[in-house]
Structure 1
């Protein structure tokens, strides 16, 4: 039986402000608060809330037949907390239905998986903790920023305990193979891979409202018929996109939500179900290894990372940023950590691209890739100075590695001692409870002994009184 795995990404750009060279060292706040508030308010009104309300209606109408998955970056969630908390409330309402799964992804929505494994692991774990805090469950399936994946990244994901990972069904990787099967990481067979169907996903997210497209207009029954006519053994259809597709990329006036709402009804008629990524990973076996020696993503025709690292400006900014990753981790300063998250976000590098793209790119305040590069490097220069003020450049990488190891070992020792303290406290509490129980029993026994002794004394007194009274009576009789 065929099943549709429907997934949506929720991430919000943190807009940087104009930052001049002469601001370095004097201004440590890098963000355009007005634009952040304006943009996310508009997105919430035009896309997030209408789309999430539509999903809630679909669940109410179809019960647990309809299922959907989301992943939220930690940075995006922070912006929702500040500017659109109603979106979080709606996501929690959806979570309560039991028909929604929340996936893991890097907190920063950044490119740490391409630079620093430790940074990537810490980034993902922070987001997982955030998901557990808001939705009560720790994710078991990973979705990297923009579906970035390689064999090495898959191996890292498997080492973190994930049972599955989402990535792109790129033709240069699959060759003659179909994306409608479950595969596994070639370096870690226990990690299952769900591959995005490019055509079916982009028909909704990119082409739905394009009147020049040969498939226009797209109707739900025709769309589901295409899925139903796939070969019988191709049973997993992964349709992945940004939630922004519903309302922003494809305006509400295009009836995109009516199309989405009709999918469950049309799918049910064809005997097609809906599943979450974790359900697919649990129920379906892998058909074999997927070899991805070079990094792929879901962006542009090349489906690689060239939109972020394709020119010298991007690579210089990227290398400069991650050259201080270990120092940031050692510093563990709250303000530094927040700026680190925002500066890692992949859109900062995307604004610097010189590649032509079939997807329109809004550079915001920037006039050109060089303008974006200059502004970012000014901010990065100030940020690096702040980090180096905590850990000076004189400390080389070997010393940092040694310090990191020492900190880790000390942390492990502290954890062991903390666990031992907890164990001993538990034993002490139990021992105290046992002592209290024994004391209570002893008190009862003492009370019983006292009562028995008092009863014995009373009995003896009564006997003695009778014995004394009897001779006196006999003497009285003798006198008579």
Structure 2
């Protein structure tokens, strides 16, 4: 088997509105409805609608020889229902072809796997129910954790939930001399197969495509196919994992990114011995070549491919610890709005905005952040968290028996 596995992360967070100290105890609505709606509609017009239309065209043109996979975060699906039902319908049409696979993840695109096994399992089950509801009973078989965060222990937790495989980053410091172009298995639970992102070829599309200073610019389909043809014949699968917003949002239509994708299937199918497969097809056909040992969590973010995009500085760690200290109280709550806010507050983007890195990685963080500084992101989040805590304690006190 020689195949290409396309996977796209599709996620939009619920962004917090500016929330002042004086709002604590007075205002319990935390979300910037205007920004969330306007950003969703902007990205829908630039990326989701045109790219979904293109992929549907390609799937039909190549009669199922071309295949892709998606992980739609639960908070993204909530926003599709609320702001972009046309986008939801276009994803439903893609999935209905049988050649666009949906993966599962945590509902809120959260970091719960790093802190609470109970919350992680709850979020995964909630996400599974959401997918089933919106996609005609669809049940994902393969898992993708938030931002490809993975470790041996996280893999074991995913295996406990019955998934066949998990996706993660083909990080150099983990692989060493090994190639990402094989199927591996979890070091603790070998029945869970592990697919590793080929970061060089993925990032050529996701990050370098429109970079005119790049030595290989412009990237053409012929050039790309020539690169994959140089991969040793025994290497079985090229995992091209990227943000879906690569198409039209990060790489604008004027860069030629849509035309590149339009012509890529023809170039691959006619100029190489590669096919296209979904993750579940890959793991059904390929035998793992060995275990992949990941004792410390990795991700697909930044140069280090670790957790420092979200955790590690004092701001991030303080906010993260204070948030999860509230889990026992949340589990006692009967208020559906508290439960909903609890999910949305766990979204990893809130901690991403608090990152204090510099240089190129810092520029990327600043690009995605609605805040002027990481400190501003921290203060805003902690103000919200203070009000959330008051709501929890008020509900708990109200439920205590009167003396």
Verify same fold: TM over 0.5: yes
Aligned counterpart, 1:114: 114
Structure showing greater relative contact order (alpha-carbon pairs closer than 8 Å, 6 or more residues apart): 2
2:235 is the alignment partner of 1:234: yes
Matches within 5 A, 1:209-228: 209-228=210-229
Aligned residues: 395
SS of 1:238 mapped into structure 2: strand
Report the Cα distance in structure 2 between the residues aligned to 1:305 and 1:37, rounded to whole angstroms: 29
Aligned counterpart, 1:134: 134
1:22 is displaced (CA, Å) by 1.1
SS of 1:22 mapped into structure 2: helix
SS of 2:209 mapped into structure 1: coil
1:363 is displaced (CA, Å) by 5.4
Matches within 5 A, 1:38-117: 38-117=38-117
Matches within 5 A, 1:38-437: 38-135=38-135, 136-269=137-270, 270-356=272-358, 357-358=360-361, 360-361=364-365, 362=367, 364-391=369-396
1:332 is displaced (CA, Å) by 4.4
Report the Cα distance in structure 2 between the residues aligned to 1:103 and 1:49, rounded to whole angstroms: 20
Report the Cα distance in structure 2 between the residues aligned to 1:127 and 1:71, rounded to whole angstroms: 10
Report the Cα distance in structure 2 between the residues aligned to 1:290 and 1:31, rounded to whole angstroms: 40
Greater Cα radius of gyration, structure 1 or 2: 1
Q: Describe the superposition over 1:402-450 as per-residue Cα deviations: whole angstroms up to 9, x where unpaired.
A: xxxxxxxxxxxxxxxxxxxxxxxxxxxxxxxxxxxxxxxxxxxxxxxxx
1:250 is displaced (CA, Å) by 0.4
SS of 2:162 mapped into structure 1: coil
SS of 2:106 mapped into structure 1: coil
Q: 1:178 to 1:82 in 2, by over 3 A?
A: same
SS of 2:364 mapped into structure 1: coil
Report the Cα distance in structure 2 between the residues aligned to 1:333 and 1:285, rounded to whole angstroms: 47
* Runs (5+) with no aligned partner, structure 2: none
SS of 1:321 mapped into structure 2: helix
Report the Cα distance in structure 2 between the residues aligned to 1:50 and 1:332, rounded to whole angstroms: 41
Q: Describe the superposition over 1:176-205 as per-residue Cα deviations: whole angstroms up to 9, x where unpaired.
A: 100000000001000000000101111111
Aligned counterpart, 1:439: none
Report the Cα distance in structure 2 between the residues aligned to 1:104 and 1:363, rounded to whole angstroms: 24
The structure 1 segments of at least 4 consecutive aligned residues displaced by more than 3 Å after TM superposition are none
Q: 1:352 to 1:107 in 2, by over 3 A?
A: same
SS of 2:310 mapped into structure 1: helix
SS of 1:303 mapped into structure 2: coil
Q: 1:228 to 1:43 in 2, by over 3 A?
A: same
1:132 is displaced (CA, Å) by 1.2
Q: Describe the superposition over 1:342-369 as per-residue Cα deviations: whole angstroms up to 9, x where unpaired.
A: 1111110011110124352335442111
Report the Cα distance in structure 2 between the residues aligned to 1:363 and 1:54, rounded to whole angstroms: 26
Report the Cα distance in structure 2 between the residues aligned to 1:388 and 1:226, rounded to whole angstroms: 59
Report the Cα distance in structure 2 between the residues aligned to 1:12 and 1:318, rounded to whole angstroms: 20
Report the Cα distance in structure 1 between the residues aligned to 2:175 and 2:273, rounded to whole angstroms: 27
1:306 is displaced (CA, Å) by 0.7
Higher mean displacement: 127-136 or 117-126: 127-136
SS of 2:102 mapped into structure 1: strand
Report the Cα distance in structure 1 between the residues aligned to 2:369 and 2:273, rounded to whole angstroms: 45
1:32 is displaced (CA, Å) by 1.1
SS of 2:134 mapped into structure 1: helix
Aligned counterpart, 1:21: 21
RMSD after superposition: 1.5
1:379 is displaced (CA, Å) by 0.2
Q: 1:332 to 1:292 in 2, by over 3 A?
A: farther
SS of 2:376 mapped into structure 1: helix
1:287 is displaced (CA, Å) by 0.7
Report the Cα distance in structure 2 between the residues aligned to 1:182 and 1:346, rounded to whole angstroms: 28
Q: Describe the superposition over 1:27-69 as per-residue Cα deviations: whole angstroms up to 9, x where unpaired.
A: 0001111111111100000011111111011011101101100
2:10 is the alignment partner of 1:6: no
SS of 1:101 mapped into structure 2: strand
Report the Cα distance in structure 2 between the residues aligned to 1:63 and 1:131, rounded to whole angstroms: 25
Q: 1:332 to 1:222 in 2, by over 3 A?
A: farther
1:389 is displaced (CA, Å) by 2.3
Report the Cα distance in structure 1 between the residues aligned to 2:242 and 2:396, rounded to whole angstroms: 41
